[in-house]
Structure 1
Amino acid sequence: MALIGGPSITGNSFTEGGMSRQKVKPGTLRRILAHAAPYRGKLAVLVLASLARGAITAASPLMLKFMIDDGILPKRREVVVMLAFGIVLLALIESFVLYVEARCSGRIGEGLVYDLRTEVFENVQRQPLAFFSRVQTGALVSRLNTDIVGTRQAITSLLTQAVSALLTLVIVVGTMIYLSWEITLVALAMVPLFLFPARIIGRKLQRITRERMNLDGEMGSMMNERFNVSGAELIKLYGRPAAESVLFQEKAGRVRDITALNVVHGRLFFIVVTVLTSMTTAIVYGFGGTMVIAGTLQIGTLVAMVALLFRMYGPINQLAGLQIQVLTVLVSFDRVFEVLDLKPIVDEKSDAHELPGSRTNSGSGAEARGLDVEFDHVSFRYPAADEVSLASLEPTGLRDKDRGDGSWVLKELSFAASAGTLTALVGPSGAGKTTITQLVPRLYDATSGSVRVGGHDVRDVTLQSLSDTVGVVSQETHMFHDTIRANLLYARPEATEGQLIEACEAALIWDTIAALPNGLDTVVGDRGYRLSGGEKQRIALVRLLLKSPPIVVLDEATAHLDSNSEALIQRALKSALAGRTSLVIAHRLSTIREADQILVVEAGRIRERGTHKELLAQGGLYASLYQKQFAEEATATGVKRLA
């Protein structure tokens, strides 16, 4: 399948470089609050705990004041002892409050991460194949892991700090005004000096953070592509380990530089804050000291004011630092929302119904019977680069032939495959054969015209019932890094041991599996690399037999098999697929001579149709392809005999 005209996820689209220049979108904070709404009960407890901690923060310096002015200076031992016990009690209460805060923030943060992670995963699963062909896997995984984990900080750290700091600040300032409004005004006059650095440095950190995340995604994508069997094999075969190391060093170096810049800016803010805090403390000591000397202020009150000063600038520093952290955390949320905003090209209608005759509709144990498949004036093209945006992957004008520059893969194509019959698709490479088979299970939707299964437009039925109706075995078989059993049960989770063995025997793979030390529990390796191409294809056929769908699509499913194995598989399929509707793309034309109809596809159109004998008699494209292939096979056989 050619994707030259496929949807682009570039420019304004889902590419790391494209997003690095974007700012956080308006409304991101509102969407964060909407996702946090289910946790409002725990948020209320968190606010109450923060309020209690703020009161305790202000109470400790007051008790210190009374200890000095009413206990130590008058030499009243009982007051000192009582207030000392009071301070210990406050410390115990504060410990309990901190535990409640940590428990609530942890539950809220992890719940939010779970919600976002599952939403992103579900939405990505709904994207079209073109999405996965254009997006780097590592960059996508980075969104699902690094960015979503980054959102946890918004609740577990930022929200807790913000609420606690704000409430503490209000209580502490109120207490300071009660003790000495003059010193309080001096302290508050310095507050703007804390806010300006936070604003300036915060903007820079926001840009740096987005760039760092993008670079992390690029490095992760490279590792993901190189650290699998296929990538490692390619590197070794072409002698590129040294070049790959240089490329990785370049990417890792960029990550190092941007991370170092991030650390420098973060430290710079706290250096400025430390200097300002020291200056303010000195001013308060000087001003308050003169008041104590003048007799207008008690020494205990001065000590309490200095203690409260640190408790006031602590929340101010937190709030100023939060401004920086919020801006960087918003980047994580924004990147997650970018994925959630992707709209699938192929989606299920709200009023979609189950397909009659599907295994979903009939029950998993029902015997599958073939259904009609009909293409009615179907034209198709992949959406052009400018038809897909980041905010929505829904193409604009996709059904309008006069818009977009995507080339037409199928053009006004019509045919019918009756229930229980075998229809073969043949033709030169790039003719559109695979695209035809992908429109049946709705991997893509027709640009114009309609595809019907059992008389129902595939766009009007549920995706699950359509998936249960159509079984596909492609030339390239994907296997998960798991056991053979797990890979087979993916097609039919409720299958018994006997059913697994029966299907394996029908696909002529059981003897191979039984000879393995762990049999069905043998781990196949990354992408099934421990199995040969032919063995993987026979495993794929076992999946098909287990699924037992009414409609079967074989896209050159026996391409990796030798002639003898292919002949055996063809006989096994003839028996196993009896009564089902079959669409078969065949490279070896000798294997489809018994097809009920053969469609010869060229340049997106059906040029010829008929049985094997009828097409040979016509002497057209099919006859030419058949004679050419027959001559090649005869030559190869002769060479083999001479050898």
Structure 2
Amino acid sequence: MSGMRGGGGHRGRLDEEAQRAANAAAPKIPNLLTRTAALFAPHRRALILTAALVIVAAGLSVLPPLLTQQAFDRGLFPPAGTPNLPVLLQIVGLMLLIFLITTALGVWQTWLTSTVGNKVMGALRVRMFEHLQRMELAFFTRTKTGVIQSRLQNDVGGVAGVLTNTVSSVLGNTVTVIAAFIAMLLLSWQLTVVALILMPFLVIAQRRVGQVRARIATQTQESLSELTAITQETLSVSGILLAKSFTQQRAEIARYRDENDNQVRLQVRQMMSGQWFFGLVSLFMAIIPAIIYVVAAWLILGDVPVSAGTIVAFTTVQARLMFPLIGLMRVALDLQTSAALFARIFEYLDLAPAITDHPDARPTSADPSRIGRVEFANVSFFYPDRDGLAAPTLKDVSFRIEPGEFAAFVGPSGAGKTTISYLIPRFFEATSGRVLFAGDDVRELLQESLHSQIGIVSQETYLFHATIAENLRYAKPEATDAELEAAARAANIHATVRSFPDGYETVVGERGYRLSGGEKQRIAIARVLLKDPPVLILDEATSALDSISERVVQRALDEASRGRTTIAIAHRLSTVAGADTIYVVEAGRIVERGTHDELVSASGTYSRLYAQQQTR
């Protein structure tokens, strides 16, 4: 939506700046090769066995050329002048046996390397997902979801081939190269010098190619991240509705096409980079045998004994040397290319969560007289802005909500009400002051224990693309059908669910779009009731509903708040008129507090807001 993405382009720049800030905050990667090798540590036994198989197979692969020499010199053209069939059959039989053994070892080795490589890749993906789950909420507010998805899918998937093939390729090709080099020296040191004279130039060229491919790989992954982000943004239900309602489908298609064209261009560049190098290597391989023939003739003319079997065996060994050398060069190129992907992966793994459990953190108190008590003591909070400065959101906020009390926070948009609700479960960390839960500073509590005591119903209800029953059981996986129905009845949604053809097995669709706003909200309330927390936070839970749906949902909320501490963030004052205490928040401060009647009669901010809503 290019017109809209003028805001969109600005937003994209903010995302990029936030991402760069996060990357800058991450520690430098100390030793990429060491860290990558450490991923294989849990698979030592399989790797040792793989190494043994590779070494044996590589060693055996050099024997056939030597046997070829014997087949020529002792079987086909022996000194006696006539072929020696028994000797030739023995040599051919030995060659076939070696081929069978190396084939079997190759299959076994491929299974081992594939298993280890894919397990390492899977563990790396889970490790990154687990790490991201521990990141603070602010990380996700400043980073595009599509970018995160790309790190998990494209970056980890991009190193799959390296993880699967590198170990066996490096070991096998190295052993083969060494064995072939020794065999060539044994056959003729003069011809060996000719065969290897250009190798240093190829190594230098390979390094240059690798540097180019690494740069292109980084650009390719960044482009893939952007493609994933565009897809995630525009092909979600919300994105499609937005594009259609503003007739921006063509603009979105153009945006996707432009990035896709960039991706195609980068993929072609990545594919073509190094092709001239491998073409040069192929040319080198093609002309070496011819040069060897000429040099061999020159040696023979110079009275250096070189047999026909030696020449045939040498060219065969030389070919077996060149292919592993090319393999090692390809691995080196792949490693240089994958270094960019590993750097991006470790970059995320090195991000330190801003909010972590203290080493001495403890569970929340089980004292019945304290459970449900929430207190702010001179709390201030600052959201960092995109210039790295700080914009104050809350300033010296203090209040105390007793167990079972219904407290409401009201005020103009942007006053800091939702921030208060985020600080209670420690989704954000207070800049100064103390947030207390059941009498304990939330920084001294285990986050998992704290979160288990709090239920949240927000304005933007999130439902999975699953059945109603599965969405409800997200709060309590072991819940019985009877418990589901009890929670649904309390949320005033059971009768509605039963009216659906599939009942609780009804699939709600992406983000619950097959349901009405009121139905989604009541399912969310039922989910919280199934969790049964002592503290319930209602963040603008009815602000997006029509008046009829609001009344139905409000009855469900009244039922949900019974017997537990309830903190309501409200825009419509009529929904919190019955609160025990109403806190009026303005410009990050609590400017008034009291009951509805007390605040209306006080002729302050609350009274003004109430009068405005009454006249609408």
TM-score interval w.r.t. the shorter chain? over 0.9
Separation of aligned partners in 2, 1:51 and 1:547: 58
Residues 601-630 of structure 1: per-residue CA shift (max 9 Å, x gap): 000000011112222222211111112212
Name which of structure 1's ranges 33-42 and 292-301 shifts more when overlaid on structure 2. 292-301
Q: In the alignment, what sits opposite 1:79?
A: 87
Q: In the alignment, what sits opposite 1:52?
A: 56
CA contact (8 A) 2:491 2:559 kept: no
User: Which of 456, 460, 463 pairs up with 1:472?
Assistant: 456
Q: In the alignment, what sits opposite 1:33?
A: 37
User: Which of 111, 123, 142 pairs up with 2:119?
Assistant: 111
Separation of aligned partners in 1, 2:17 and 2:209: 29
| Gap change, CA 1:568 and 1:516, over 3 Å in 2 | closer
Q: In the alignment, what sits opposite 1:302?
A: 311
- The reply on whether 1:347 has 2:356 as its aligned counterpart is yes
| Gap change, CA 1:227 and 1:296, over 3 Å in 2 | same
Deviation at 1:249, TM superposition (A): 1.7
Q: In the alignment, what sits opposite 1:414?
A: 398
- Name the aligned partner's letter for residue 156 of structure 1: T
Q: Secondary structure at the match of 2:274?
A: helix
Name which of structure 1's ranges 72-81 and 564-573 shifts more when overlaid on structure 2. 564-573
User: Which of 443, 451, 468 pairs up with 2:435?
Assistant: 451
Separation of aligned partners in 2, 1:368 and 1:572: 26
Q: In the alignment, what sits opposite 1:385?
A: 386
- The reply on whether 1:257 has 2:261 as its aligned counterpart is no
User: Which of 64, 78, 87 pairs up with 2:68?
Assistant: 64
CA contact (8 A) 1:550 1:580 kept: yes
| Gap change, CA 1:137 and 1:591, over 3 Å in 2 | closer
CA contact (8 A) 1:289 1:302 kept: no
CA contact (8 A) 1:8 1:386 kept: no
User: Which of 501, 508, 516 pairs up with 1:517?
Assistant: 501
CA contact (8 A) 1:369 1:420 kept: no
Deviation at 1:377, TM superposition (A): 0.6
CA contact (8 A) 1:482 1:523 kept: yes
Separation of aligned partners in 2, 1:151 and 1:350: 35
Deviation at 1:213, TM superposition (A): 1.3
Residues 223-242 of structure 1: per-residue CA shift (max 9 Å, x gap): 22221211112111111222
Deviation at 1:28, TM superposition (A): 1.0
Q: In the alignment, what sits opposite 1:197?
A: 205
- The reply on whether 1:151 has 2:159 as its aligned counterpart is yes
Q: In the alignment, what sits opposite 2:19?
A: 13
Q: Secondary structure at the match of 1:288?
A: helix
Q: Secondary structure at the match of 2:384?
A: coil
| Gap change, CA 1:492 and 1:232, over 3 Å in 2 | same
- The reply on whether 1:90 has 2:101 as its aligned counterpart is no
Deviation at 1:566, TM superposition (A): 3.4
Q: In the alignment, what sits opposite 1:401?
A: none
Q: In the alignment, what sits opposite 2:175?
A: 167
Separation of aligned partners in 2, 1:549 and 1:438: 16
Q: In the alignment, what sits opposite 1:425?
A: 409
Q: In the alignment, what sits opposite 2:289?
A: 281
Unaligned runs of at least 5 residues, structure 1: 359-366, 388-404, 633-643
Unaligned runs of at least 5 residues, structure 2: 1-9
- Name the aligned partner's letter for residue 517 of structure 1: P
| Gap change, CA 1:78 and 1:321, over 3 Å in 2 | same
CA contact (8 A) 1:373 1:453 kept: yes
- The reply on whether 1:482 has 2:466 as its aligned counterpart is yes
Separation of aligned partners in 2, 1:8 and 1:242: 24
| Gap change, CA 1:571 and 1:316, over 3 Å in 2 | closer
- Name the aligned partner's letter for residue 530 of structure 1: R
TM-score normalised to the size of structure 1? 0.89
Q: In the alignment, what sits opposite 1:244?
A: 252
CA contact (8 A) 2:381 2:392 kept: yes
| Gap change, CA 1:229 and 1:602, over 3 Å in 2 | same
Deviation at 1:527, TM superposition (A): 1.0
Deviation at 1:26, TM superposition (A): 4.7
Residues 321-370 of structure 1: per-residue CA shift (max 9 Å, x gap): 22211100111111111111111112222221111239xxxxxxxx9994
Name which of structure 1's ranges 233-242 and 536-545 shifts more when overlaid on structure 2. 233-242
CA contact (8 A) 2:137 2:427 kept: yes
Q: Secondary structure at the match of 1:382?
A: strand
Separation of aligned partners in 1, 2:254 and 2:552: 49
User: Which of 269, 277, 284 pairs up with 2:277?
Assistant: 269
Q: In the alignment, what sits opposite 2:326?
A: 317
CA contact (8 A) 2:138 2:428 kept: no
User: Which of 486, 506, 510 pairs up with 1:526?
Assistant: 510
Deviation at 1:12, TM superposition (A): 7.8
Q: In the alignment, what sits opposite 1:371?
A: 372
Ranked by relative contact order (alpha carbons within 8 Å, sequence separation 6 or more), the top structure is 1
| Gap change, CA 1:145 and 1:473, over 3 Å in 2 | same
| Gap change, CA 1:422 and 1:114, over 3 Å in 2 | same
Residues 84-107 of structure 1: per-residue CA shift (max 9 Å, x gap): 111110111001110121122112
- The reply on whether 1:498 has 2:499 as its aligned counterpart is no
Separation of aligned partners in 2, 1:183 and 1:93: 30
Separation of aligned partners in 1, 2:252 and 2:122: 36
Q: In the alignment, what sits opposite 1:549?
A: 533
Residues 252-288 of structure 1: per-residue CA shift (max 9 Å, x gap): 1111111111122132221111112223222222112
| Gap change, CA 1:267 and 1:492, over 3 Å in 2 | same
Q: Identity over aligned residues, as a percent?
A: 37
Q: Secondary structure at the match of 1:296?
A: coil
Deviation at 1:301, TM superposition (A): 1.1
Q: In the alignment, what sits opposite 1:627?
A: 611
CA contact (8 A) 2:18 2:386 kept: no
Q: In the alignment, what sits opposite 1:436?
A: 420
Q: In the alignment, what sits opposite 1:331?
A: 340
Q: In the alignment, what sits opposite 1:188?
A: 196
Q: Secondary structure at the match of 2:567?
A: strand
Separation of aligned partners in 1, 2:480 and 2:410: 37
Q: Tell me the C-alpha RMSD between the 2 structures.
A: 2.3
- Name the aligned partner's letter for residue 179 of structure 2: I
Deviation at 1:289, TM superposition (A): 3.2
Separation of aligned partners in 2, 1:125 and 1:379: 26
Name which of structure 1's ranges 193-202 and 426-435 shifts more when overlaid on structure 2. 193-202
Separation of aligned partners in 2, 1:445 and 1:264: 50
Residues 145-179 of structure 1: per-residue CA shift (max 9 Å, x gap): 12112222223222221111111111111111112
CA contact (8 A) 1:369 1:579 kept: no
**How many residues in Structure 1 have an aligned counterpart in Structure 2?**
599
- Name the aligned partner's letter for residue 151 of structure 1: V
Q: In the alignment, what sits opposite 2:7?
A: none
CA contact (8 A) 2:154 2:224 kept: no
Q: Secondary structure at the match of 1:407?
A: strand
User: Which of 528, 536, 560 pairs up with 2:544?
Assistant: 560
Q: Secondary structure at the match of 2:592?
A: strand
CA contact (8 A) 1:117 1:144 kept: yes
CA contact (8 A) 1:483 1:522 kept: yes
User: Which of 593, 596, 605 pairs up with 2:577?
Assistant: 593
Deviation at 1:295, TM superposition (A): 5.6
Q: In the alignment, what sits opposite 1:132?
A: 140
Separation of aligned partners in 2, 1:14 and 1:34: 27
